[in-house]
Structure 1
Amino acid sequence: MVLRRLSGCAVLLGMVLAPGWVLAAGKCERLVVTGSPDAPPYLWRDPQDPKHLIGASADLLQQVAGELGLKVELLYAGKRSEALAEVRSGRMDMLADAPLTLSELESLDYIHPPLVQNDYLVWTRKGSTLIYNQLADLHGHRGAVSEKARLTQPFEAFAKDQLTLRRTSNLTEALQKLLLGDVEYVLAGRYAGMALAQSLGMANDLVAAAQPVDRPGLFLAVSHDSACNDPWLRGQLAKKMTELPASGLTEALLQRNLERWKAQLQQPAGTSKQ
């Protein structure tokens, strides 16, 4: 009994006298993050520094991480599928813009609520007879959507069964088909559609419905194999995600990056497409 007590005291004394870094072990101080390189104004490749990603999601994460005392580096890891593979493997810690899919729950911990939500709107030509108020209004009409669009799984299933949607290589092509009359509507994100329409000189020719057709969330998702994945990090990030909507920061950073992307689109060497 005495030996057991002495042993317990020794362990306790060792914990008290241990260096601070031992007690702090497990608390992550640096996160290596990646995401889609072609999803402005949320996230895209920095034309001035192609190894890094910039955008509203990057700025939001930097702000949140700074408040938690964490360092974050947003790195380019290739196209979307390659970025996901890097995080799945644990070579990178987190995705900054993960769509919620059941299959990825086996390798990723999603932080709720989402970092941002992307409103997808119905865009039509000005003067079009197609007026969108509800999904039924799209039945029988030809539409287009970028193959890079990330819609929710329920909406994807609905669209496959109920809508006539042509997949285009990017949003620019979809909007061009709309103006040419090849399709009657385009599904595009509120901010991406707005910026691209203005940059391509189409803003006066297109109209976006006010009611979103879909609102996919873009989540922070931590790899199961990341050394940084612990309850403290997930809890603190979830708390910050809960506080964000009321702060007004998301909208401010979206507007700032919208202008940033539009400025880059006007420079041929830095043109980005969704």
Structure 2
Amino acid sequence: MDLHRVSGWSMLAGLALLPGLAVAAGKCERLVVTGSPDAPPYLWQDPQNPKQLVGASADLLQHVAAELGIKVELLYAGKRAQALDEVRSGRMDMLADAPLMAGELQSLDYIHPPLLENDYLVWTRKDSPLVYNDVQDLHGHAGALSEKSRMTSAFGTFAEQQLTLSRTANLTQAFQKLLLGEVEFVLAGRYSGMAMAQTLGMANDLIARAQPVDKPGLYLAVSHNSACNDPWLRGQLAKKMTELPASGLTETVLQRNIERWNAQQKQSVSTPKQ
């Protein structure tokens, strides 16, 4: 046997493996992710472990990351603005629920399509005489909107100019105003509205009209300053985001997290304070 030939083939085989090894070595194995801490059923602080964020966005991201062989930690980083600052700086790698904002493109790479679409619906009392077929029917009627709502910029401009909307600190206050008859409608997300109506015991008193007025996306957004931000990660995440809607998993995960949120609220009410 020609030892020189064998060693030559061994060297060639080793060189052929190097690109693959380089990719494996460069692949990000752990992502530190954050987002809004008060946006059920998408994301909220885990009452059992307040350092962690749980919710539909967390579950879907964990599912996708597991398929890519990446470990993900969903951590609380403060209010929404603080979470954004942590990701901008690169101290955390990614936001799990970023609204698409042109001003953030200089610091974040948005993964398209979005992880979730947050349909905003018109919520009214069940006995409301309001005739609603499209958003033009809301002209001249008093409505409410939580300050935490994140509409598309186009609809936000339209609402500001064309609708009569009072801003409330949160969705709870908006729904309370609706039930008291202080406003005729509330603009709220399909699933966030569902979760809050059930939590407040208003599910039998309120109704969501079927036609969305706005459909902002909740995007995965990777920091430009993240060591994990590379073409492989962005490409794989985009591929998974494209596959998610057809999987049927999204609806299941959202419903499960509405139940989870409500169970936690009931538990916190029934648990005596020490």
TM-score (norm 1): 0.90
Q: Which residue of 1 aligns with 2:204?
A: 204
Q: Which residue of 1 aligns with 2:192?
A: 192
Within-5 A mapping of 1:70-219: 70-219=70-219
> Could you give the per-residue CA deviations for residues 8-66 of structure 1, whole angstroms, max 9, x where no partner exists?
xxxx9996697986563321010000000011101111000000100010000000000
1:256 aligns with 2:259: no
Runs of 4+ in 1 over 4 A off after TM superposition: 12-23
Q: Which amino acid aligns with 1:168?
A: T
CA distance in 1, matches of 2:97, 2:17: 42
CA distance in 2, matches of 1:40, 1:136: 29
Q: Give 5+ residue unaligned stretches, structure 2.
A: 1-11
CA distance in 2, matches of 1:91, 1:14: 37
> Could you give the per-residue CA deviations for residues 144-191 of structure 1, whole angstroms, max 9, x where no partner exists?
011111111111000110011111011110000001111110011111
Change (3 A) 1:231 1:17: closer
Q: Which amino acid aligns with 2:169?
A: S
Q: Which amino acid aligns with 1:234?
A: R
Assess if the C-alpha contact under 8 Å between 1:47 and 1:270 holds in 2.
no
Assess if the C-alpha contact under 8 Å between 2:45 and 2:51 holds in 1.
yes
Q: Which amino acid aligns with 2:231?
A: P
In terms of mean alpha carbon deviation, does 125-134 or 82-91 score higher? 125-134
Q: Give 5+ residue unaligned stretches, structure 1.
A: 1-11
CA distance in 2, matches of 1:235, 1:17: 22
Q: Which amino acid aligns with 2:141?
A: H
Q: Which amino acid aligns with 2:158?
A: F
> Could you give the per-residue CA deviations for residues 73-118 of structure 1, whole angstroms, max 9, x where no partner exists?
0000000000000000011000000000100001000000000011
Identity %: 76
Q: Which residue of 2 aligns with 1:49?
A: 49
Change (3 A) 1:197 1:15: same
CA distance in 1, matches of 2:211, 2:153: 19
Q: Which amino acid aligns with 2:139?
A: H
CA distance in 2, matches of 1:71, 1:227: 15
Q: Which residue of 1 aligns with 2:30?
A: 30
In terms of mean alpha carbon deviation, does 244-253 or 121-130 score higher? 121-130
CA distance in 1, matches of 2:17, 2:113: 40
CA distance in 1, matches of 2:23, 2:216: 40
In terms of mean alpha carbon deviation, does 185-194 or 79-88 score higher? 185-194
Aligned residues: 261
In terms of mean alpha carbon deviation, does 140-149 or 19-28 score higher? 19-28
CA distance in 2, matches of 1:270, 1:217: 35
Assess if the C-alpha contact under 8 Å between 1:145 and 1:188 holds in 2.
yes
CA distance in 1, matches of 2:26, 2:17: 18
CA distance in 1, matches of 2:17, 2:203: 66
Change (3 A) 1:68 1:135: same
CA distance in 1, matches of 2:244, 2:236: 13
